């Protein structure tokens, strides 16, 4: 797909470049081309996120990976899929993004609920945390496809939060595995009395994972749900169930391992976290509350860029009401053709306000952008959407 875009740019401009900004600003792709190319990018990045139903590799990868590998995978590598959507797929193919956004939102909502339900059924602690990642990243997908500043900011912030909380949970599972060489939930019980510092840290990161207020997880999920409701209210309401299910499976894990009957025979030799392990976990512990209680320093870095990104994306497309012949948004800048005068008028009415200019001058610009629409107007014309 990317070679096709570069080839198209070279054919249209006579030069070859790999500079993304030049390609985004200058390449001209038809609506059909954008749909197919966005589909190719979405498949690649969807597997990387992973978006349901391309998630099946993730639990197996976590189970086979060492603790450090799981932390890097959850904290950094999974975010590359969402970064790819935001950095490449959406700017390059805005019309394709408009077509696929509702379907991505549906898959995100399914992933939230499905990941939570499957996590609830797990007996392996590492697999449970892995499926919780599928659920949490579903929120991030739902947030960025809503394409408003609140939801997209929440999506990016939640990526950071997920890296902190889930990375810490994998570290804690690794601490137990290092001592007992098993991740089976049934092998533990009543550990709070035996290893109290571990139990306290496990509780904090569990509450962070279920997005308890005052922890980092709450801020991101709240922003995503509040912003996504503006674009996909039904899917957002369905996704709220993931918050409840998240509390169920994470608190169930905590209760089964930290409380219940303690077996001296099986776990009598367990030792609490040592100084080296504390040095790894304490910075994450601090971030849970800093990012949850005082998120402003982080959000002030994210929001301006996201706001400009959303404005740029919306400027590239004019959304036509449902029932239009093309069935998706129309990108004025790329010279996409509107099928008839009625739809032209609908699109023109939705254009953002421009600085006052003469009717004829403004209309000439619209005619140049939408080349198949031929409208003659003089300074006294009364045409919808044009003042």
Percent of the chain scored above 90 by pLDDT? Answer: 54
SS3 386: coil
16-25, 35-44, 110-119, 190-199 — which is least confidently predicted?
16-25
What average pLDDT does range 31-44 have in this prediction?
92
Taking only the tens place, the pLDDT of each residue in 170-182 is 999 999 998 888 8
In terms of pLDDT, which residue wins out, 281 or 27?
Answer: 281
Together in a domain, 308 and 341: no
Quick check: is 329 in a domain? no
Together in a domain, 241 and 346: no
361 has a pLDDT exceeding 50: no
For residue 147, the tally of other CB atoms under 10 A from its CB is 22
Q: Which residue has the tokens 């801020």?
A: 219
Quick check: is 326 in a domain? no
Quick check: is 188 in a domain? yes
Last residue of a domain, one of 268, 287, 316: 316
Q: Which residue has the tokens 């209210």?
A: 233
367 confidence band (pLDDT: 50, 70, 90)? low
The reported pLDDT for the residue numbered 12 is 87
Question: Rounded mean pLDDT of the chain?
Answer: 82
18 confidence band (pLDDT: 50, 70, 90)? confident
What helix, strand, coil percent values describe the chain, rounded to 5?
70, 0, 25
Together in a domain, 304 and 348: no
47 has a pLDDT exceeding 60: yes
373 has a pLDDT exceeding 70: no
Together in a domain, 124 and 44: yes
In terms of pLDDT, which residue wins out, 240 or 379?
Answer: 240
What is the torsion angle, in degrees rounded to the nearest 10, for the CA atoms of residue 305, residue 307, residue 308 and residue 310?
A: 120
Angle of CA points 99, 103, 107, to nearest 5°: 155
Together in a domain, 95 and 244: yes
Together in a domain, 244 and 377: no
Quick check: is 324 in a domain? no
Quick check: is 383 in a domain? yes
Quick check: is 323 in a domain? no
The reported pLDDT for the residue numbered 368 is 54
Together in a domain, 367 and 293: no
Together in a domain, 213 and 155: yes
Written as six digits, the tokens of 299 are 């959000």
Q: How far is it, in rounded angstroms, from Cα 217 to Cα 162?
A: 7
The reported pLDDT for the residue numbered 189 is 84
Domain count, the chain: 2
Together in a domain, 248 and 362: no
Taking only the tens place, the pLDDT of each residue in 234-280 is 999 999 999 999 999 999 999 999 998 877 778 778 888 999 999 99
Together in a domain, 251 and 311: yes
Q: What's the whole-model pTM score?
A: 0.77
353 has a pLDDT exceeding 80: no
137-146, 179-188, 229-238, 323-332 — which is least confidently predicted?
323-332
Quick check: is 292 in a domain? yes
Residue 9 and residue 27 in contact, taking contact as beta carbons nearer than 8 Å: yes
26 confidence band (pLDDT: 50, 70, 90)? confident
Together in a domain, 203 and 350: no
What is the torsion angle, in degrees rounded to the nearest 10, for the CA atoms of residue 25, residue 30, residue 35 and residue 41?
A: -40
Quick check: is 330 in a domain? no
Could you tell me the residue range of the domain that residue 191 belongs to?
Answer: 2-316
Together in a domain, 244 and 96: yes
């Amino acid at each position: 797909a990317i070679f096709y875009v570069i080839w198209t740019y070279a054919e249209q401009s006579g030069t070859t470049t790999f500079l993304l900004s030049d390609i985004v600003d200058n390449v001209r792709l038809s609506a059909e081309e954008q749909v197919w190319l966005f589909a190719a990018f979405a498949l690649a990045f969807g597997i990387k996120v992973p978006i349901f139903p391309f998630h099946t590799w993730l639990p197996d990868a976590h189970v086979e990976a060492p603790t450090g590998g799981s932390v890097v995978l959850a904290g950094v590598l999974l975010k590359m899929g969402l970064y790819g959507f935001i950095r490449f797929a959406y700017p390059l193919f805005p019309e394709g993004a408009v077509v696929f956004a509702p379907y991505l939102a549906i898959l995100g909502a399914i992933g939230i609920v499905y990941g939570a339900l499957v996590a609830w059924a797990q007996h392996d602690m590492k697999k449970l945390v892995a499926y919780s990642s599928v659920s949490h990243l579903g929120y991030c997908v739902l947030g960025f496809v809503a394409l408003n500043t609140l939801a997209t900011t929440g999506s990016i912030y939640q990526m950071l939060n997920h890296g902190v909380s889930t990375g810490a949970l994998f570290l804690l599972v690794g601490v137990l595995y290092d001592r007992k060489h098993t991740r089976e939930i049934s092998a533990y019980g009543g550990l709070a009395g035996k290893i109290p510092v571990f139990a306290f840290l496990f509780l904090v990161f569990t509450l962070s994972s279920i997005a308890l207020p005052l922890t980092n997880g709450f801020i991101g999920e709240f922003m995503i749900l509040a912003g996504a409701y503006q674009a996909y209210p039904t899917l957002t309401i369905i996704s709220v169930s993931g918050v409840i299910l998240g509390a169920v499976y994470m608190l169930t894990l905590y209760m089964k391992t930290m409380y219940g009957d303690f077996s001296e025979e099986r776990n009598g030799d367990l030792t609490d976290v040592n100084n080296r392990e504390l040095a790894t976990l304490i910075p994450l512990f601090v971030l849970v509350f800093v990012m949850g209680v005082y998120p402003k320093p982080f959000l002030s870095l994210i929001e301006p860029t996201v706001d400009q990104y959303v404005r740029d994306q919306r400027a590239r497309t004019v959304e036509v009401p449902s029932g239009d012949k093309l069935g998706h948004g129309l990108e004025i800048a790329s010279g996409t053709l509107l099928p008839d005068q009625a739809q032209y008028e609908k699109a023109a009415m939705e254009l953002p306000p421009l600085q006052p200019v003469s009717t004829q001058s403004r209309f000439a610009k619209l005619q140049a952008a939408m080349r198949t629409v031929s409208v003659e107007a003089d300074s006294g014309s009364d045409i919808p959407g044009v003042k």
